[in-house]
Amino acid sequence: MLTAILRCRRISFVGLTLLCFLSCSKSGTDNPGNPCEGITIAVNGTVTNTGGPGSATGSITATASGSSGFTFSLNNGPFQASGTFSNLVAGAYTIRAKNGDGCMGSGSFTVADGDPCAGKTITVTADIGSSEKCGKTGTITVTASGSTGFMYRLNASGTYQAANTFTQLEADNYTIYAKDAAGCETTKQVTVPAVANGPLFTAVVTLINSKCSGCHTGSNPTSGISFAADCAIVEKKNNIKTQAVDLGTMPKGGPALGASDKKIITDWIAAGGRASD
């Protein structure tokens, strides 16, 4: 501690003169104490990771111990009363805590990218429309729930689209994919069934099997055309009508079809010539 003493003496010459001088003395307590001596400030916190890559939804809530009256700073930014820092992207952060005397401590924290699909249960249902056995008339309409912003694709080779309906599908097995705005994806296996054969087509098949079994079946069918498969008959329906009804050259080698047999063919073609007719 520094002490100042003012001392004065009177010296007389020609008149009266007052002489003053300042004397100083120093004690052992002249330097102020260090307010941070013996204080250790620890900074701890709770980290909330982001909602996923590229998302600024992370946060750190910091607390400090070892003193009182704390303010907090993130990455050497301005100090604030709250220890919570929000809207953070993934990365490394340093939070400093300062008490009222300016004593500081710091802590290091890491905000990671969280899994955007954690806790989600995406459910996919499908409304299936059957397809012609020998055509591509099937449909699949997809409904997804459990999130938002869905897009859809059909099979692994497909392309995602906003529309949830797929058309012009043949009878077959398919895998539906649904993906939400965060990229969370789920799949569902579905089958587009074939429409059953109709009565008119069934009558044509029976007629061909009874009249043409020797020429358009087996390993060496006439003109290389086999009617063993239903879709082969549908594909060649116009040829069948021309040869069997119009020209009377089918079945090969005769006898020609009678009027009732010809009517079986024409009735089927007039109805549409599909397997379902």
- What are 198-209's pLDDT values in tens digits? 999 999 999 988
In this predicted structure, the answer to whether residue 233 has a pLDDT above a threshold of 80 is yes
Please answer whether residues 241 and 269 qualify as being in contact, where contact means their C-beta atoms are separated by less than 8 angstroms. Answer: yes
User: pTM of the prediction?
Assistant: 0.67
In this predicted structure, the answer to whether residue 222 has a pLDDT above a threshold of 80 is no
pLDDT at 136: 95
Token pair listed for 195? 């429409």
Q: What is the mean pLDDT of residues 148-169?
A: 97
**42-111 and 123-192 share one CATH topology?**
yes
pLDDT at 169: 98
What share of the chain has pLDDT > 90, as a percent?
70
In this predicted structure, the answer to whether residue 22 has a pLDDT above a threshold of 60 is no
Q: What is the mean pLDDT of residues 101-127?
A: 94
CA distance 26 to 136: 106
Question: How distant, in Å, are the alpha carbons of 169, 220, 248 from that of 254?
Answer: 40, 19, 8
For the chain, the structural domain boundaries read 42-111, 123-192, 199-270
Give the mean pLDDT of the chain.
Answer: 87
Please answer whether residues 161 and 151 qualify as being in contact, where contact means their C-beta atoms are separated by less than 8 angstroms. Answer: yes
CATH number of the structural domain 123-192: 2.60.40.1080
**What digits encode the pLDDT tens for the residues 37-93?**
999 999 999 999 998 888 899 999 999 999 999 999 999 999 999 999 999 999 999
**What digits encode the pLDDT tens for the residues 179-198?**
999 999 999 999 999 999 99
pLDDT at 267: 95
pLDDT at 217: 63
pLDDT at 16: 43
- Contacts by residues 68-74 (CB-CB < 8 Å, ≥ 24 positions apart): 68/99, 68/100, 69/99, 69/100, 70/41, 70/97, 70/98, 70/99, 71/97, 71/98, 72/96, 72/97, 72/98, 73/98
Q: Which CATH architecture has domain 42-111?
A: Sandwich (2.60)
CA distance 256 to 249: 7
